[in-house]
């Protein structure tokens, strides 16, 4: 029986740059950084300190996950900034927005009220966009369906 999501892939253009962005700017921690066998691909994961059961795999499109043509097409889409990578929850949207902006994070939308809470939209260093959302009071339990 499926127990839940543990690792989700975020396609990035450069793993070292992405590692710096997700740790230095967003404040996530490195969980895994290793090469998969001799000459293999790099397995790099990060996650929120308070959510040890979920990791983001920062992966460059290419073998073994996809063929060369698909990888090149994916890289173009990432760089173009058309891929949404997910929702990151916060309990202080205005404070986190100010802190992240001061750290050089590019925001596409400042915090706005939505039916599900307050949301700001930002891009990572590769071009992926994320929703930074503070759910309505009482809905911050990440196990709830609030979005």
For 27-50, write each residue's pLDDT tens digit.
999 999 999 877 778 999 999 999
Q: Answer whether 18's CB lies under 8 Å from 12's CB.
A: yes
Q: What percent of the chain has pLDDT over 70?
A: 93
Residue located via tokens 């839940």: 4
57-92 pLDDT tens trace:
999 999 888 999 999 999 999 999 999 989 999 999
């Amino acid at each position: 029986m499926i127990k839940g999501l543990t690792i989700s892939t975020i396609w990035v253009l450069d793993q070292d740059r992405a590692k710096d962005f997700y740790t230095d700017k967003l404040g996530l921690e490195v969980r895994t950084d290793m090469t998969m066998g001799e000459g293999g691909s790099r397995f790099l994961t990060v996650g929120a300190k308070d959510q040890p059961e979920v990791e983001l795999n920062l992966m460059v499109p290419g073998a073994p996950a996809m063929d060369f043509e698909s990888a090149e097409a994916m890289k173009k889409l990432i760089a173009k900034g058309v891929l949404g990578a997910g929702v990151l929850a916060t309990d202080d949207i205005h404070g986190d927005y100010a802190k992240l902006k001061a750290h050089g994070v590019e925001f596409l939308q400042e915090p706005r009220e939505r039916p599900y809470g307050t949301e700001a939209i930002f891009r990572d260093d590769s071009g992926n966009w994320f929703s930074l959302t503070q759910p309505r009071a009482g809905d911050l339990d990440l196990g709830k369906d609030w979005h």
